[in-house]
Amino acid sequence: MTSAESSLPRRADEGGRHGRHRRGGRRRGEQLMVPKAEFQSYYGRPVIKPPSWEARDIAGYFFLGGLAGGGSVLAAGAHLTGRASTAKAMKVSSLAAVSLSAAALVHDLGVPSRFYNMLRVAKPTSPMSVGSWLLAAYGPAAGAAAATAVTGRLPRTGALATGAAALLGPALASYTAVLAADTAVPAWHGVHRELPYLFVASATAASAGMALAVGPTRENAPARWAAGLAAVADVAVSQAAERRLGMVAQTWREGRAGTLLKTAKALTVGGAVTAAVLGRRSRVAAVAAGAALLAGSACTRFGVFAAGTASAEDPKYTVVPQRERLEAAKAETAAAETEKG
């Protein structure tokens, strides 16, 4: 007997050889013994194809893009408020981050020409197309802002470039969440509303951490406030995301993803508290808080990536929520028909 045959429901009465029907139908009192339904996919294989992206490249791309975008916003604020040292450091760090981010993306694509080919068309409905054009527009703006800040030349051009990078920064920090949520991966698509906010909070934490680490203590008040807001938002949005995911939230709490996301929360909250309490006066504390915030943001991006991979590899996270939604829709339809009747 094959495994498929052995899994078929049998009669409680085994008198009928190999499940053969008796003449005259079932005997009185005969019952079907059906085992409790358990989900199984075809040979246990995933229902959807897991992401083919490399975690080092794409999760790193997510983190570095957020650091660059958030850093440009803080750089513009520092520029406007006369915090020249912090503004220069953040402009340079944003340029470095977006350069590394683009390198990670090109490395994952395998062939550099693929990135250029994506710029041949502009497709507003495609997050990848929008992201490619964002990178193409943000990179030169960040480069001009950093170059003028370092050389001290063309201050008006530098101010315009700083403003342009700051305007594009939030979109650069959050579009990768839209890109991930646009897939069929349960742990990403299920939180398509919350994921952009989580990525913005993570980007804010990273850029605040960078400002604390590279800027002088006398200029770090905005960074300390940004770190506190980022920590509160990170915790709140993460909890909202897990509530919405239902059973799929197991992928956010368990395994490698669970370890990374728990570590991210501890580092982000710890860094924000350290910055608020000690970062105002102690340079060492400010640097330590900045390092914790940067590490926490990186753990968030890698943790979300790992959760997505885990949810795609286990077929139950794809099928069970679909069945639950179908049953809920049937129940709503039945209730509506009952009210009409």
Q: Please, are residues 149 and 91 in contact by the beta-carbon 8 Å criterion?
A: yes
Q: What's the start-to-end Cα distance of the chain, in Å? A: 50
Asked whether the whole model's pTM tops 0.85, one would answer no
As averages over each run of 10 residues, the pLDDT of the chain (341 residues) reads: 40 42 46 49 60 84 95 96 95 96 84 72 78 89 96 94 96 92 91 95 97 95 96 96 93 95 97 95 96 97 95 82 70 74 65
pLDDT of 7: 37
Instruction: Return d(Cα 270, Cα 206) in angstroms, integer.
Output: 13
pLDDT of 318: 78
Q: Which two tokens stand for residue 46?
A: 């995933």
pLDDT of 45: 61
Q: Which amino acid is at 239?
A: Q
3-state secondary structure of 11: strand
**Tens of pLDDT along 65-94?**
999 999 999 999 999 999 999 999 999 999
Instruction: Return d(Cα 25, Cα 2) in angstroms, integer.
Output: 27
**Tens of pLDDT along 191-218?**
999 999 999 999 999 999 999 999 999 9
Q: Please, are residues 94 and 75 in contact by the beta-carbon 8 Å criterion?
A: yes
